[in-house]
Amino acid sequence: MIKFSPVSRLFVKLLLGFWLCSSILIGLFALLPLIEQNHDRSQLSPEFEQILADVAKRFKQSPRPFSPESIKQLTKGKHHEYGQVRFYLMNDQGRILNSRRPSRPLRFFVLMTEDVGHPISHQFRDQLMFGPYKFNYQHKTFTLYGRFTNHHPRPWFLFFADHKLLSAGLAILLSGLLCGFLAWYLGKPLRTLKHSANALAAGDLSSRVDSKTTGRNDEMGELAIAFNAMADAIENMINNQQRLMGDISHELRTPLTRLQLSLALARKKHSQVNEFDRISYEAEQIDELIGELLSLSRITLNASTTMMDIELAETLSQVLDDAEFEAEQQQKQLNITIPETLRVAHQPKALARAIENLLRNAIRYAASNININAIENQNEIVITVTDDGPGIDDKELEAIFAPFYRPDSARDRESGGWGLGLAITQAAVQAHKGHISAANVSPHGLCVTLTLPRTNPT
């Protein structure tokens, strides 16, 4: 048995796949607040510190006491490349002198600077605040803060930190996509195995799982290798069985020929005896049986023979002529509807034998009319052989294609043969990767339908 690395096991792949998928998404969205904080909050830059220092210098040089009007005059005209700057002056009692009702971002920023303990700048959604800058004036300590009133763009990924519902929806979508990809990756070899198993069950003994699936280093690959080994064993077993049947049938021909020769010599030496006729009849029956077995064996073993893309009417011309002659001898009518231009990839001998068996059965049991039709249906060729005979019990419609099966019905009690004709027909159809079925028609009769692929099957 092939041994794979523990990392290649299907359980580990499932565990790592779903665990990594969920961990990465959770980690990304959990880190957004930290990334936002690190981006929005930073040390006060020398540039911003200089802006506050310049304004503080104006305040120190002012001869008038600080009032909202004087503060407005002292900070008027202060511009920066970031846009218009607005300043807030706070006394040593913590009151903003130039604003009656400080905004929530300003109050939040003041508390933030007190917690941090040193000057910083912080990016809010639509404004940038920086400070504090402390200076002394007339033996009192004042604190100065600055704010850029214009909107300052933030990195695109911080958009998700401000829109929690959208972020949750995006996380669900990404998780679904990743898990869907993982499910597709795991389900693809299962679909391949299912297709190969269905083909094998339908009689395609050459069906195997592709090399991509068998090359996987996990349980799927092991299962594919085991399936191919099983299919090889089944194909060898059936081929050996068919070859054995053909070999036995061929070997039986030699003693049968000797028996027929001895019978002919006995007739010359002795007068006509009824037992000689009986022996001759039984020998002919055995000869027919051996011939049928050989035909079934050849068709089954030569299923992979190269197809020929020729007109269907050309292949069936001799078979149809013989069937018309046989029908006329029994005062029955054979109606043929096969377009001359209808082409299909097929094995001429095998398909001709299959149609010949169907027509002989139909002529034998028909009351007066037999119909054979061939039409092109999309990528398939559909051939139907219909008679107006007694039909078959519905429970036996599928079993009639099995070798040596002879249902106990009015249609078959009168027949000779060995129950191999329809088995040979089915083997020929399966060699073409086609399908055969039988159905009773109203008011009475049987319709056998052959469906063949339009192009050469691979």
CATH (domain of 115): 3.30.450.210
Examine the domain organization and report whether 262 and 321 are in the same domain: no
Residue 411: what pLDDT? 47
Examine the domain organization and report whether 321 and 410 are in the same domain: yes
Q: Are 422 and 401 in contact (CB under 8 A)?
A: yes
Examine the domain organization and report whether 255 and 296 are in the same domain: yes
pLDDT of 213-223, one tens digit each?
Answer: 888 777 788 88
Measured distance CA(253)–CA(259) in Å, rounded? 10
Report if residue 208 sits inside a domain: no
Mean pLDDT of 266-288: 69
As a whole number of Å, the CA-based R_g of the chain is 47
Residue 156: what pLDDT? 54
Query: Which of 111-115, 264-268, 354-358, 413-417 has the lowest average pLDDT?
Result: 413-417
Chain position carrying tokens 């605040």: 129
| Higher pLDDT among residues 211 and 411, named by residue | 211
Examine the domain organization and report whether 56 and 145 are in the same domain: yes
Examine the domain organization and report whether 297 and 401 are in the same domain: no
Examine the domain organization and report whether 274 and 393 are in the same domain: no
Dihedral (CA of 216, 217, 223, 225) sign: positive
Examine the domain organization and report whether 111 and 225 are in the same domain: no
Residue 457: what pLDDT? 46
- The two three-digit tokens of residue 10, written as one number: 């299907």
Measured distance CA(340)–CA(134) in Å, rounded? 105
Examine the domain organization and report whether 332 and 313 are in the same domain: yes
- Closest by CA to 96, choosing from 129, 49, 61, 53, is 129
CATH number of the domain at 272, please: 1.10.287.130
pLDDT of 96-107, one tens digit each?
Answer: 888 888 888 888
Examine the domain organization and report whether 330 and 287 are in the same domain: no
Examine the domain organization and report whether 125 and 255 are in the same domain: no
| Higher pLDDT among residues 25 and 44, named by residue | 44
User: Which of 262, 277, 301 marks a domain boundary?
Assistant: 301
What residue numbers bound the domain in which 347 lies?
308-453
Report if residue 260 sits inside a domain: yes
User: Which of 282, 301, 320 marks a domain boundary?
Assistant: 301
Is a pLDDT exceeding 50 seen at residue 421? yes
Residue 384: what pLDDT? 93
Report if residue 332 sits inside a domain: yes
Write the burial class of residue 252 (CB in 10 Å: 0-12 exposed, 13-18 middle, 19+ buried): middle
pTM above 0.75, yes or no: no
Dihedral (CA of 388, 393, 394, 400) sign: negative
CATH number of the domain at 416, please: 3.30.565.10
Report if residue 121 sits inside a domain: yes
Q: How many domains does the chain have?
A: 3
Report if residue 194 sits inside a domain: no
Which residue type occupies 242? Q
pLDDT grade, residue 9 (50/70/90)?
low
Examine the domain organization and report whether 361 and 410 are in the same domain: yes
- Closest by CA to 240, choosing from 196, 198, 210, 205, is 205
Is a pLDDT exceeding 50 seen at residue 248? yes
Examine the domain organization and report whether 333 and 404 are in the same domain: yes
Q: What percent of the chain has pLDDT over 90?
A: 11
- Closest by CA to 382, choosing from 426, 448, 294, is 448
User: Which of 266, 301, 336 marks a domain boundary?
Assistant: 301
| Higher pLDDT among residues 166 and 36, named by residue | 166
Mean pLDDT comparison of 6-20, 71-85, 140-154, highest-scoring range: 140-154
- The two three-digit tokens of residue 411, written as one number: 């249609």
Chain position carrying tokens 């300590």: 141
Report if residue 440 sits inside a domain: yes
Measured distance CA(412)–CA(364) in Å, rounded? 10
Q: Are 451 and 380 in contact (CB under 8 A)?
A: yes
Measured distance CA(289)–CA(416) in Å, rounded? 11
